[in-house]
Amino acid sequence: MDRTMLRAKIHRVAVSERDAAYEGSLTLDVELMEQADLVQFERVEIYDVDNANRFATYLIEGERGSGECCVNGAAAHLVALGDRLIIASYTTLADRDVPTHRPRIVLVGEGNRVRQVKHHERAGARVDR
């Protein structure tokens, strides 16, 4: 049997722009993408921590070091400037690979800068607002 598992996550990146007129996608600082091992045009799931909206889209590389997180197209109506997002990517693994799988988790701080990269989460762990 195969299982769908979290592969990578960027935790609590702040929306810096919204552009409903853009064709679609989410423009993200390429440095954040690299730290999470995400690539341009990769499908991602987006979870808005502030309003509970969820949607799927794909990534487009933004300027390196800019801290950019621009939600484009129709999804721009689902977020507000400053909303904190979780960006998640998933993979399918065979059962035999599950025990050794470790997702890449990027915690983001002020200015959408990488605060920490880790490969685990534990129940009850809280994040400062």
Query: Mind telling me the catalytic residues?
Result: 25, 58
Helical (H) or strand (E) element with 6: strand 2-14
- 91 by DSSP, 3-state: which? strand
User: Cβ(57)–Cβ(65) under 8 Å?
Assistant: no
**Tokens 């801290």 sit on residue:** 67
